[in-house]
Chain A
């Protein structure tokens, strides 16, 4: 297993290829999760000059895993942020979240290619585009059935997912795409910090802080939280609940746009990549607590750590089993999630 990563150690695009080999799916989409794990393996190999076997890692290696875990966890947190927000306010499980990310990835690609500007300029473009797309999706599909049973909305967002992903696939094909961006890595005392992911983490943290400040400090933010808390009560103070729903869905989609926009900084992507992130994002959201913002990041970090350390020290895809065991454990012990429902006490 380790050796299959090693063979690709030299090239940045290794993850897609390595994973394709491991999963046995010919020309399959890059598995984001496996991809990052492979990346971890890559740097492990570089750092230790290909120490095979099960000897205990040096502090440097451990620090390397730690950095990867935090970086990966931050991305998961960012992915989960929009999902948890839409659920918290509207009680809608947005299956299209991953598809919205995919739209953002390709929006970044198109924008960069068309303008020749750095992808960093494309990210704000993707965020704005996705906000508009989110409002349109909300108004056209979810608003008419907002009072219907929850499974109706779930199915509708699933339909949106299929339409968006298929649309992207029809235009761009299903081959992996990349920005051809070589950001390189920082080397801090022997620990490599891939810059693409570092930027992504910084953007994720800024997004978290910005969203949090918006929700806590502005009247509109309070109105969103009030609507999340008591939809009936909200209308009695003059909050236009359908408008808040549209705004929330727009912001949720914009956060998906941000997450989708940063992923091309460090990873090649296909139209199917969104689904892979989405599944883990669901786990993250449930782990952290539905509707809880800090929970999204705590959950993201937990998954990041399990994945990076699990793929380093356990064989194959065992970490996936550990992730879902942690998931089930939380559901059994604290079904409201680690940081969910704490307000009751």
Chain B
């Protein structure tokens, strides 16, 4: 029971300057279900890929079942007994479910020539076990998303692996099917199969995992059972955003890891960081007390500096003539949307309010999809969206921009091949009056003086921080009254986060309502006026930041616990 079946020692994988896996040492005991969790980009999928031979490690070893399998090819590792699934199932769509099972190459070239009775029997047994035998003769391309996941698992089990690595097995699977899947996992586990699963749904981790390893920034943050892991302060920091600069003890604990790897991950953003800090010295000079649970809504740092600028910018930037009136301008009711046959947003009602409306939630909870549904990028399957009382459910994003609703996509969405000037001018594409456009152009430049010297450079040549400024500036050129911001701080050096919030406040001060998605919950709570928390595509909480004083509640809501 205590024999380790899979061990990695100092496993390292780099992509250029990004260290995706930084000396990971993980031990999986035989006959356990081992959970791997960690925030977005913490290196979980890379770990799977490196262990199972899809990536060549840059350092360290992988031992499986007492044998060193470092550098083996994926198929060799799979036949050795270490199998895996992928986040997105990829069955042979034109074959039937059963044929998919039989198509698994179980060993030796002969298995490809004649299918043994034994293999057929095993396929039938597995189909029955996974309760997908009723669709055995249907084409795999036609089964539901959940059945696809089960088929993926079944195909892997055809190899009779000793250990199976599952990459988000329950993502996009409805709750009843999820429970079935988990039952199957436990049954198979009882029969002696070891599982390693990447999972975002904390209920799954809590239900089935014997042991949990938490990754952060490519390193192992904590390892232990679920209770001890989720109550660990470092895990909370990893998920809710570190408040390291305010807490010396935390800094010493995780400071090394985060400081070492973040700037590398964001590439040239750090050069922008220093430049940006020079340009706006007001940002971050006033440390805001947010280390504890007490969220300070809105009126904190940077406001004094921001409001002076805002007083002058308000005139041209709020081109629609917006003035806060206490009414929600953009309202979504019972929205359901998703991709293909995956329901991502499952009946969410939310509205934009005066100030900053924050949407929090773990990775995969449907935040971005919700925002895109509001903006008209992803069509709503059910429910409706209204803007100032007018139904805009079926509007395209461009039509919404005309109405005064714009969105900043996660990558900023700037035009990389166009110059900064052209980017900004295109921001005013919907503005017919050239004079207004000129005026706004000047206002934006005075808000972001750093861009002024770069007007004739291409968008892609800017640093990460400058690109983000350009993205904000371009959005301001549209003269929107509702801004939908999809994680503007993602991919930026931590030192720039203050600046992102500063710019977000500035939008508010120009009279706009802002909906903000943010991973760094603790930081974002500083500027939030209203909070929605999503998990599994459903609303878990809505209210003012004051209602969130107990951080334990926040953790539970955020991690999607009941």
Interface size counted on chain A using CB atoms at 8 A:
21
Q: Which residues of A contact B407 (CB under 8 A)?
A: 236
A25 proximal to B (CB < 8 A):
no
Q: Are B409 and A219 in contact (CB under 8 A)?
A: no
Residue from B396, B398, B418, B427 with most neighbouring chain A CB atoms (10 Å): B398
Q: Which of B398, B399, B401, B415 contacts A230 (CB 8 A)?
A: B415
A–B pairs, 24, beta carbons within 8 Å? A222-B418, A225-B417, A226-B415, A226-B422, A226-B426, A229-B418, A233-B413, A233-B414, A233-B415, A236-B406, A236-B408, A236-B409, A236-B413, A236-B475, A237-B427, A237-B430, A237-B477, A237-B478, A239-B398, A239-B429, A240-B399, A343-B416, A343-B417, A343-B458
A238 touches B401 (CB 8 A): yes
Check: B394 CB closer than 8 A to any chain A CB. no
Which of B377, B417, B422, B477 meets A235, CB within 8 Å?
Answer: B377
Interface residues of B in 465-484 (CB under 8 A from A): 474-475, 477-478
Tell me the residues in window 115-165 of chain A with beta carbons closer than 8 Å to chain B beta carbons.
Answer: none
CA distance A35 to B457 in the complex (A): 45
Q: How far is the CB of A146 from chain B (nearest CB, A)?
A: 13
Residue of chain A at shortest CB distance from B400: A238
A96 adjacent to chain B (CB < 8 Å): no
Residue of A222, A229, A238 touching B398 (CB-CB under 8 A): A238
| Contact partners of A242 in chain B: CB under 8 A | 396
- Decide: B396 and A240 in contact? CB cutoff 8 A: yes
List chain A residues, Cβ under 8 A from B460.
343-344
State the CA gap A219–B426 with chains docked (Å): 7
A232 proximal to B (CB < 8 A): yes
Knowing A236-B408, A241-B398, A343-B458, say if A229 contacts B417 (CB, 8 Å): yes
Interface check B397, CB cutoff 8 A: yes
Q: Which residues of A contact B475 (CB under 8 A)?
A: 236-237
Task: Give the residue of A223, A225, A232, A238 whose beta carbon is less than 8 angstroms from that of B409.
Answer: A232
0 or 1 for each of A228-269: is its CB under 8 Å from B? (1 = yes): 111011111111111000000000000000000000000000
B122: interface (CB < 8 Å): no
B413-A238 in contact (CB<8A): no
Q: Which B residues are in CB contact (< 8 Å) with A344? A: 460
How far is A226 from B401 in the complex, measured between Cα atoms in Å?
16
CA separation between A239 and B398, bound complex, in Å?
5
B320 CB-CB contact with A under 8 Å = no
A56 to B430, CA, bound (A): 62
Count residues of chain B with CB under 8 A from any CB of chain A: 32
Contact indicator B413/A232 (Cβ below 8 Å): yes
- Cβ contact within 8 Å between A222 and B396: no
Give B109-139 interface residues, CB cut-off 8 Å to A: none
Binary A-proximity of B354-386 (CB < 8 A = 1, otherwise 0): 000000000000000000000101000000000
- Footprint of A on B, CB under 8 Å? 375, 377, 396-399, 401-402, 406-409, 412-418, 422-423, 425-427, 429-430, 458, 460, 474-475, 477-478
Residues of chain B lying within 8 A (CB to CB) of residue A234: 415, 426
How far is A240 from B396 in the complex, measured between Cα atoms in Å? Answer: 8
In the complex, what residue of chain B is closest to A221 when comparing beta carbons? B422
The number of residue pairs between A and B whose CB atoms lie closer than 8 Å in the complex comes to 82
Docked complex Cα distance between A236 and B398 (Å): 6
- Measured in the bound complex, the distance between the Cα atoms of B401 and A241 in whole Å is 13
Is B398 in contact with A235, judged by CB distance below 8 angstroms? Answer: yes
Query: In chain A, what residue has the closest Cβ to B479?
Result: A238
A237→B426 contact, CB < 8 A: yes
Asked if B402 and A238 sit within 8 Å, CB to CB, the answer is yes
Please tell me which one of the listed residues A223, A225, A232, A237 contacts residue B474 in the complex, with CB atoms under 8 A apart. A237
A239 touches B426 (CB 8 A): yes
Closest to B402 in A: A238
Residue of A nearest to B377 (CB): A235
Closest A-chain residue to B409, C-beta based? A232
Query: A13 CA to B426 CA in the complex, in Å?
Result: 50
Residues B458 and A238 in contact, CB atoms below 8 Å apart: no
A236 to B397, CA, bound (A): 6
Q: Looking at A233, A238, A239, A241, which has the most chain B CB atoms within 10 Å of its CB?
A: A238
Given the complex, which residues of B lie within 8 Å of A235, measured CB to CB?
377, 396-398, 401
| Interfacial chain A residues near B399, Cβ < 8 Å | 240
CA distance A223 to B430 in the complex (A): 11
Nearest B residue to A241 via CB reads B398
Contact check, A240 vs B398: say whether CB atoms are below 8 A apart.
yes
Closest-by-CB residue of B relative to A344 is B460
Contact of B478 with A229 in the complex, beta carbons under 8 Å: no
Pick from B408, B422, B423, B429: contact of A238, CB under 8 Å: B429
Distance between B147 CB and nearest chain A CB, rounded to angstroms? 24
17 more CB-based (< 8 A) A-B contacts, given A237-B427, A238-B401, A238-B429: A219-B425, A222-B429, A223-B429, A226-B418, A226-B422, A229-B415, A233-B412, A235-B398, A235-B401, A236-B413, A237-B429, A237-B430, A237-B474, A237-B475, A238-B406, A240-B398, A242-B396
| Residue of B whose beta carbon sits closest to that of A243 | B398
B477: chain A residues at CB < 8 Å are: 237
Return the contact of B416 from the options A229, A238, A241 (Cβ within 8 A).
A229
Q: Which of B375, B409, B422 has a CB less than 8 Å from the CB of A233?
A: B409
